[in-house]
Structure 1
Amino acid sequence: METHLAPEFAGSRAGQEAEAILRACVHCGFCTATCPTYQLLGDELDGPRGRIYLIKQVFEGALPSRITQQHLDRCLTCRACETTCPSGVHYSRLADIGRAVLESKVARPLHERLLRWGLRKVVAEPARFGFVLGLARGIGFLLPAAMRRKLPQPRPAGTWPNLQSQRRVLVLEGCAQSVATPLTNAAAARVFAKLGIQLVRAEGAGCCGALAHHLSAEAEALAYMRRNIDAWWPHIEQGAEAILITASGCGVQVKDYGALLRHDPAYAEKAARVSELARDPVELLAGLDLAPLGRPGGGRRVAFHTPCTLNHGQKLNGRVEAMLSQLGYVPTPVRDGHLCCGSAGSYSVLQPELSTRLRDAKLAALTGGAPELIATANVGCQLHLEAGADRPVLHWLELLDRPAID
């Protein structure tokens, strides 16, 4: 797509990066076929092609409005359009750049600014999030039924294995997951301990930075990334062979550290190394002998929801289902498995109406094959689906950790 940058963007990194992405787009429209919001709303400006056109206008000097901002806000950044695109357009990066420019040019109402600030300052900080979640659970009987359903159910982590092994892998504790679903990493530690691998929690590591990054708080996001790198680096120097990230949304972010910090002379090389070491659990398990785990499935029927960050972001679609089959589970068919569940990080809070419609459609697809359980690979998807589901929703690693579900 021919693009003529306005003078204010012509010499900037953001402008040059956006121009390169825009020029790759041939405006074919294939992306609209797989865009969840376009399918819901039927508006060209609520699909990737329309949003690309809006961003192009801004970089060419057009004055954006609240309407422009709202169309970009409705984007889930699910990246289904990237999977579909025959030209390899890096739409998600263009959306991040465009949103950041709009934040500086279009003033949000006070209530939106406060909500977005609160999400960054509470959810990304485990101590604060834990306090707020505990308070909400304590007064749950006073809350509206719809809000009560959204409160995560307590998930005791159980015992973290006391294994000392030559094979050591770092594990990201994360922010929301460490508070709302602590069972996930504990289950991972028990599973990998059976396979002779020690999971190491690095003191000082925390939020991956994705929440701030997608809310256009770039400096804040980079600070989280640098903090994690600082916490992990001594362990990497001592031989940690990988960084396990059990939340697929965090996994996409950490795998992108190298690109996001490539201009930082103090961190570029370390960030690139961290991205090289980042692994989703299914990637790490794929190279191991799983015989010590037995066949925990016992023929139970499981519907697996592939998060967009696992499917379109990390390109690992189908891998978890194959592994569950190998371990005795029976994955049930899921219609339109490529479509987003509507969680999308903070999207379920910022766009509740669209998010709920997407969730209900996803649950109908997941339960169509009459599964006993629903499993997924990302904390946000897990909690979002659980709020509307009529059967247990688990992280798939819990299925490998039999005591957690017996």
Structure 2
Amino acid sequence: MQTTLAPPFAGTPEGSEAEAILRRCVHCGFCTATCPTYQLLGDELDGPRGRIYQIKQVLEGQPATRETQLHLDRCLTCRNCETTCPSGVEYGRLVEIGREVVERQVPRPVGERVARGLLKSGLTSSLFGPAIKLGQALRPLVPASLKDKVPPPAPAGSHDWPLVTHRRKLGLLAGCVQPTLAPNINSATARVLDAAGISCVVAKGSGCCGAIRAHLNDHEGGLADMRRNVDAWWPLLERGEIEGLVMNASGCGVTVKEYGRALAHDPAYADKAKRVSEATRDLSEWLPELVPVLREKLQGSMPKLAYHPPCTLQHGQQLRGGVEAAFKELGFEIGCAATESHLCCGSAGTYSVLQPTLSKQLRDRKLAALAPLAADEIVSANIGCIQHLQSGTTTPVRHWVEVLDAALHP
């Protein structure tokens, strides 16, 4: 696509990057067919092709409008369009740049600024845990609009960690919301890896991966989170105390794998961030190594499973089929939605809070697609998807590592 950047963007790092991405787009429209918001709204401007054209107009000097901002806000950043695109357009990065540019031009209403500020600060704050515990204690009094964001308390003992320390060690990102909303995911990860002779290490000082602030257009805040994590992990990697990093939340994983790109222009962090990204693997990428070791150790029941692959795993990290293949090899019955396994469930980080109507429509559509599998449990690989899907069904929704842990430690 021919692009002529306006003077404020010509020659800048973000302008040059956006121009290179725009020039790869041939406006074929293949992406539109797999865009969740286009499927719901039927508006060209709420599909990737339309959003790309809006971003192009702004970068060429046309003033951004509130309408432009709303169309970009409604994008889930699921990156399904990237999987579909025959030209390799990096839409996720382009919409990130576009949102940042539009944010500088279009002031948001006070209510939106407050909501976004609370999400940026609240979800990543040390006060998040106490706030959720208070919400759990007062759950009957919590407004219906927020009740599905406050899960029941975790059962006692559900987050016990292994006591043995192994020679092999991996760094584990505990995350910002996962230790509070679903602490058993991290401890189950540690127990499963322990059964294979690997210990998990949570680096002191590590925290939110940076995705929350970055997705809410706080670019500098997101980079600060990334630098903090690099500082926490670098000594462990440099000294060989951990052989790599394992991510059990695919939303965090796709972000950490992109630290090298995000910090490429920071001379103090570029090389370290690149090394961190290269050392990062999603938990599912360890399954080929784990399955032969764990197969003979399974003792518990094997529920029938319906698997929802998160967008951040299948589109962001381009990892597909690994979980299903491993579970089948272990003897589980597991299936995916026949027609919609590639589509977003509507969680998308803070999207379910900021765009509740569209988010719930996508959630209900996903659950309807999974229903014919008649599964005992739904499994996924990202805390956001798990919490969001659970809010719409009585069928238990868990991380797949929790199911594997239960079969190893009945």
The TM-score with structure 2 as length reference comes to: 0.96
Whether contact under 8 Å (1:297, 1:324) holds in the other structure is: no
1:296, CA displacement in angstroms? 5.4
Alignment partner of 1:209 is 2:213: no
Deviation at 1:282, TM superposition (A): 1.1
Name which of structure 1's ranges 160-169 and 62-71 shifts more when overlaid on structure 2: 160-169
Match of 1:150 in 2: 149
Q: For 1:94 and 1:206, how far apart are their aligned partners in 2? A: 26
Q: 1: CA distance between counterparts of 2:181 and 2:128? A: 9
| 1:155 CA displacement | 2.3
Provide Cα deviations, 1:34-80, integer angstroms capped at 9, x if missing partner: 00000000000000000000000000100111000000000000000
With over 3 angstroms needed to count, the CA separation of the structure-2 counterparts of 1:404 and 1:193, relative to structure 1, is closer
- Number of aligned residues: 405
Retained in 2: the 8 A contact 1:297–1:329? no
Q: Is the 8 A contact 2:31 2:49 kept in 1?
A: yes
Seen in structure 2, the aligned counterparts of structure 1 residues 288 and 404 have a Cα distance that, compared at 3 Å, is: closer
Partner residue in 2 for 1:356: 360
Q: Is the 8 A contact 1:243 1:279 kept in 2?
A: yes
Between the aligned partners of 1:371 and 1:322, the Cα distance in structure 2 is 17
Q: Which amino acid aligns with 1:321?
A: E
Q: Quote the residue 1:255 is aligned against.
A: 257
Q: Secondary structure at the match of 1:274?
A: helix
Does structure 1 retain, via aligned residues, the 8 Å contact 2:299–2:409?
Answer: no
Cα deviation for residue 289 of structure 1 reads 5.0
Provide, for residues 120-150 of structure 1, a one-character-per-residue CA deviation record: whole Å limited to 9, x for no partner.
101022x211122112112211123453233
Aligned counterpart in structure 2 of residue 292 of structure 1, from 291, 294, 319: 294
Q: SS of 1:401's equivalent?
A: helix
Counterpart contact for 2:300–2:408, Cα < 8 Å: no
Is this contact kept in 1: 2:287–2:322, CA < 8 A?
Answer: no
Question: What are the superposed Cα offsets for residues 299-325 of structure 1, whole Å, 9 maximum, x if unpaired?
Answer: 521000000001001111111011111
Q: Name the residue aligned to 1:316.
A: 319
Other structure's SS at 1:205 match: coil
Cα-to-partner distance string for 1:274-298 (whole Å, 9 max, x where unaligned) = 0001011111232245333534574
Q: Is the 8 A contact 2:291 2:326 kept in 1?
A: no
2:34, 2:84 within 8 Å by CA — same for their partners in 1? yes
| Structure 2 portions without partners, runs of 5+ | none
Q: Which structure 2 residues correspond to residues 188-267 of structure 1 after superposition, within 5 A?
A: 188-239=189-240, 240-267=242-269
Cα deviation for residue 404 of structure 1 reads 9.3
Which SS does the other structure have where 1:374 is aligned? strand
Cα distance in 2, alignment partners of residues 42 and 334 from structure 1: 23
- Of residues 383, 387, 398, the one that matches 2:387 is 383
Q: TM-score, normalised by structure 1?
A: 0.97
Out of 299, 310, 327, which is 1:307 matched to? 310
**Equivalent AA in structure 2 for residue 238 of structure 1:** R
Matched residue SS, 1:8: coil
User: What CA distance in whole angstroms lies between the structure 1 residues aligned with 2:12 and 2:149?
Assistant: 42
Q: Encode CA deviations 1:91-137: one digit per residue, 9 max, x unaligned.
A: 00000000000110000000000100100101022x21112211211
Which letter does structure 1 place at the counterpart of 2:377?
L
Question: Distance in 2 between the 1:296 and 1:53 partners?
Answer: 55
Give deviations 1:200-221, integer Å, cap 9, x for gaps: 1111101000011111101111
SS in 2 for 1:345: coil
Q: Which residue of 1 aligns with 2:36?
A: 36
- Deviating 4+ runs (over 4 angstroms): 296-299, 403-406
Residues 330, 344 of structure 1: alpha-carbon distance in 2 compared, 3 angstrom cutoff: same
User: C-alpha root-mean-square deviation of aligned residues, in Å?
Assistant: 1.5
Provide the residue aligned with 1:131 in structure 2. Answer: 130
Name the SS for the 2:395 alignment partner.
coil
**Match of residue 116 from structure 1:** 116
What is the DSSP-based 3-state SS (H/G/I as helix, E as strand, rest coil) of the residue aligned with 2:127? helix
CA distance in 1, matches of 2:148, 2:102: 34
Percent of paired sites with the same residue: 55
Distance 1:404 1:185, change over 3 A: farther
Contact 1:251/1:278, CA 8 A, preserved across alignment: yes
Mapping of residues 315-334 of structure 1, within 5 Å: 315-334=318-337
Aligned partner letter, 1:359: R
8 A contact 2:300–2:409 mirrored in 1: no
Q: In structure 1, how many angstroms separate the alpha carbons of the residues matched to 2:386 and 2:215?
A: 20
Mapped pair 1:280 → 2:279: no
Shift of 1:403: 6.8
Q: Given that residues 195 and 290 in structure 1 are in contact (C-alpha distance below 8 angstroms), is that contact kept between their aligned partners in structure 2?
A: no
Q: Unaligned stretches of 5+ in structure 1? A: none
Residue identity opposite 1:186 in structure 2: S
Amino acid paired to 2:8: E
Structure 1 residue 242, shift from structure 2 partner: 1.1
